């Protein structure tokens, strides 16, 4: 499918333009810049050259550096090193206006560019990139608007920063929870740099057709330099949290209670942040993974504990509870930026699924599969975590599914298999892929009447496009029409692309090894 898309307009457009350029070349030998598809290629790209040619055009404070710079490793570090982008030079713009200039410079020199923010992007399609990383790390200004109903955020902000900033000023927004729907449901307008280097406003009155695409597939269309998002009064001063560790023996009771709590998408709205893992904790057992669950409730302990009574009745190995400001919830739930789960530099094998309810048989089989690996391949088991997310999703389901490019509003649970493998161990890596696909298959087999859905931000890049962007034919058709209009050169093709690389950069085509399910982005 991706090949067809590429041929249908991407390659054709390229071919026509090349003919045009060649004709001009033959006629004049020198080609004006504006006739060239990609004016030059820059095989000898290095930071000194970029600094010399581009540096003076950018704002003071902008940083340009390459692999020999001490800042390079941290700036290019990835959460998943399975198929990392190949970064030749990093440019860290100090102002939003610089982003367009960097893109224009890259285009004029035939250099690919990739915006990065947190480096958590997981898709193996990122591994097809070689070129300039536009690091958004210096663009982190947040400006609350006078009406206190929205704020402008620059393109380099991230969840923890936003949560803390707003909380201290009496507000919250859609970071971490879905109380008010998803982030995309609350975006009012965006400033975007397109692939040709034009800076545009995307709003209900300006380039309004693109607003729909930016809400769920924005990485295919441009670099967001800033965006305006709804904010809300922060509500109660504290959130109640309760963390539990159960043994596998309690699995059926735990999932029965989880299904009752979530009630097929009707999770009590204030029971906002709930998730759990299967993982090894050898102080509990060297063969049996634990079930580690955490619940965070927007409000006082008595309200939360009434909803958690069933869980309190399940004998646990350990549990702890407390009350913290919202800005402290990620820390007590173990997913703050300095926590293990966010740690960068590991080679990870992942698969995902979207569910409505937990299937007890599937979960027992998945647990038993984990236990088998703990015995047969303890190294593999030691680095693995099987994530089950169950946020309160009423705000997500309340929106019209057609309003945004996000297609899976009827999924209530996001699942992620996350295996960590050593850098050079193809045998263990293959075993991890088998395991990852097995878990995914079990999740999907546990909901035989539903389709396979892969949340774009958890997708590993090998999934079929329809399972990521939606099966309704109009969805991909609409995205492709927007792509043709706003990024005809397919400059944004490195993160779960809706149009595959026209240069065939996906290293090696065809199916991979993991039960015929893997595509071939891997380097
Ligand atoms: C530990 C962990 C927990 C997570 N939890 C959640 C969760 O609870 N909910 C959820 O929805 N997702 C979650 N995710 C997924 C996360 O949202 C995605 O991985 C996301 O793409 C990460 O963005 P990033 O900026 O960190 O990554 P990057 O790799 O820097 O960027 C990812 C993609 O976005 C593009 N990009 C970055 N900045 C910009 C910009 N300013 N304009 C345009 N494009 C840009 C990049 O080019 C790249 O294609 C989680 C991921 C991890 C690793």
Contact 191, 225 (CB under 8 A): yes
Could you give the angle at the alpha carbon of 380 between the alpha carbons of 375 and 383, nearest 5°? Answer: 115
Q: What is the pLDDT of residue 31?
A: 42
Q: How far apart are CA 385 and CA 157, in angstroms?
A: 27
Task: Report the nearest atom of ligand 1 relative to the CA of 192.
Answer: 42
Q: How far apart are CA 503 and CA 114, in angstroms?
A: 16
Which of 102, 103, 120, 276 should be mutated for ligand 1, with most atoms under 8 A from CB? 120
Centroid of ligand 1 to alpha carbon of 175 (angstroms): 13
Centroid of ligand 1 to alpha carbon of 121 (angstroms): 5
Ligand 1 neighbours, Cβ below 6 Å, are: 79, 114-122, 136, 155, 219, 223-224, 341-342, 457, 494-495
Task: Report the nearest atom of ligand 1 relative to the CA of 118.
Answer: 26
Q: What is the pLDDT of residue 39?
A: 53
Q: What is the pLDDT of residue 23?
A: 29
Contact 424, 351 (CB under 8 A): no
Does residue 323 sit in helix, strand or coil?
Answer: strand
55: region left, alpha or beta (phi > 0 left; psi from -120 to 50 alpha): alpha
Q: What is the pLDDT of residue 4?
A: 28
Q: What is the pLDDT of residue 500?
A: 72
With helix as H, strand as E and coil as C, how does 438-491 read? HHHHHHHHCCCCCCCCCCCCCCCCCCCHHHHHCCCHHHHHHHHHHHHHHCCCCC
Q: Would you say how long the chain is, in residues? A: 523
Residues of the chain with pLDDT below 50 are: 1-32, 34, 502-523
Task: Report the nearest atom of ligand 1 relative to the CA of 455.
Answer: 11
Centroid of ligand 1 to alpha carbon of 317 (angstroms): 34
Q: How far apart are CA 490 and CA 221, in angstroms?
A: 8
Q: What is the pLDDT of residue 176?
A: 85
pLDDT in tens, 467-516: 999 999 999 999 999 999 999 999 999 999 999 754 433 333 333 333 33
Q: How far apart are CA 172 and CA 166, in angstroms?
A: 6
Helices (H), 131-217: 159-168, 183-186, 208-217
Could you give the angle at the alpha carbon of 518 between the alpha carbons of 516 and 520, nearest 5°? Answer: 120
Q: What is the number of helices (H) and of strands (E) in the chain?
A: 18, 18
Is residue 323 exposed (0-12), middle (13-18) or buried (19+ Cβ within 10 Å)? middle
Tell me the C-alpha to C-alpha distance, in Å, between residue 290 and each of 177, 286, 367. 25, 10, 9
Q: How far apart are CA 269 and CA 357, in angstroms?
A: 17
Q: Which residues of 280-300 are buried (b: 16+ CB within 10 A; e: fewer)?
A: beeeeeeebbbbbbbbbbbbe
Centroid of ligand 1 to alpha carbon of 320 (angstroms): 30
Q: What is the pLDDT of residue 96?
A: 98
396, 398, 403, 409 alpha-carbon torsion, rounded to 10°: 40
DSSP H/E element including 419: strand 413-421
Is residue 16 exposed (0-12), middle (13-18) or buried (19+ Cβ within 10 Å)? exposed
Which of 103, 121, 387 should be mutated for ligand 1, with most atoms under 8 A from CB? 121
Centroid of ligand 1 to alpha carbon of 219 (angstroms): 10
DSSP code for 33: G
Which of 80, 118, 186, 404 should be mutated for ligand 1, with most atoms under 8 A from CB? 118
Is residue 461 exposed (0-12), middle (13-18) or buried (19+ Cβ within 10 Å)? buried
Which residue minimizes the CA distance to atom 2 of ligand 1? 342
Does residue 259 sit in helix, strand or coil?
Answer: helix
Which residue minimizes the CA distance to atom 21 of ligand 1? 121
Q: What is the pLDDT of residue 42?
A: 73
Tell me the C-alpha to C-alpha distance, in Å, between residue 355 and each of 110, 262, 412, 450. 43, 12, 6, 8
Residue 486 has, within 13 A of its CA and on its CB side, a CA count of 30
Which of 115, 223, 225, 493 should be mutated for ligand 1, with most atoms under 8 A from CB? 115
Which residue minimizes the CA distance to atom 17 of ligand 1? 457
Q: What is the pLDDT of residue 366?
A: 98
Q: What is the pLDDT of residue 516?
A: 38
Which residue minimizes the CA distance to atom 28 of ligand 1? 119
Q: What is the pLDDT of residue 37?
A: 53
């Amino acid at each position: 499918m991706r090949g067809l898309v590429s041929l249908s307009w991407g390659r054709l457009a390229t071919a026509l333009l090349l003919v045009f350029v060649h004709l001009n070349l033959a006629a004049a030998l020198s080609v004006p810049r504006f006739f060239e598809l990609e004016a030059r290629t820059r095989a000898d790209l290095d930071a000194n050259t970029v600094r010399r040619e581009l540096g003076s055009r950018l704002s003071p404070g902008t940083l340009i550096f390459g692999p020999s710079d001490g800042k390079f490793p941290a700036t290019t570090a990835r959460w998943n090193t399975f198929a990392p982008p190949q970064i030749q030079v990093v440019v860290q713009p100090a102002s939003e206006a610089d982003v367009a200039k960097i893109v224009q410079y890259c285009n004029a020199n035939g250099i690919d560019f990739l915006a990065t923010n947190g480096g958590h992007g997981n898709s193996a399609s990122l591994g097809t990139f070689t070129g300039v990383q536009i690091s958004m790390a210096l663009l982190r200004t947040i400006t609350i608007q006078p009406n206190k109903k929205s704020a402008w955020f620059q393109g380099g902000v991230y969840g923890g920063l936003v949560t803390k900033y707003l909380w201290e000023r009496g507000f919250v927004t859609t970071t971490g929870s879905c109380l008010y729907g998803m982030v995309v449901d609350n975006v009012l307008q965006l400033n975007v740099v397109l692939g040709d280097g034009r800076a545009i406003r995307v709003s209900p009155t300006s380039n309004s057709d693109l607003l729909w695409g930016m809400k769920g597939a924005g990485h295919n269309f441009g670099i967001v330099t800033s965006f305006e998002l709804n904010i809300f009064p922060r509500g109660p001063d504290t959130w109640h949290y309760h963390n539990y560790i159960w043994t596998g023996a309690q699995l059926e009771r735990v999932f029965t209670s989880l299904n009752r709590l979530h009630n097929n998408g009707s999770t009590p709205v204030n029971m906002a942040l709930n998730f759990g893992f299967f993982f090894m904790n050898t102080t509990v057992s060297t063969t049996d993974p634990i079930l580690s669950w955490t619940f965070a409730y927007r409000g006082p302990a008595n309200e939360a504990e009434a909803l958690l009574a069933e869980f309190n009745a399940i004998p646990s190995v350990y549990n702890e509870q407390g009350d913290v400001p919202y800005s402290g919830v990620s820390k007590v739930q173990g997913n703050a930026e300095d926590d293990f789960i966010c740690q960068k530099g590991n080679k990870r094998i992942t698969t995902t699924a979207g569910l409505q309810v937990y299937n007890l048989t599937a979960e027992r089989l998945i647990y038993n599969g984990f236990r088998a690996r703990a015995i047969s391949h303890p190294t593999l088991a030691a680095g693995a975590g099987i994530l089950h997310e169950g946020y309160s999703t009423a705000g997500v389901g309340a929106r019209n599914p057609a309003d945004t490019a996000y297609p899976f509003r009827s999924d209530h649970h996001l699942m992620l298999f996350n295996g960590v493998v050593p850098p050079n161990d193809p045998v263990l890596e293959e075993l991890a892929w088998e395991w990852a696909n097995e878990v995914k298959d079990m999740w999907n087999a546990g909901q035989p009447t539903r389709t396979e859905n892969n949340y774009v931000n958890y997708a590993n890049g090998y999934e079929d496009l329809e399972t990521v962007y939606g099966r309704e034919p109009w969805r991909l058709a609409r995205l492709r029409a927007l792509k043709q209009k706003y990024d005809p050169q397919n400059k944004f093709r490195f993160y779960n692309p809706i149009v595959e690389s026209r240069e065939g950069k996906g290293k090696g085509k065809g199916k991979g090894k993991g039960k015929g399910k893997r595509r071939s982005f891997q380097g």
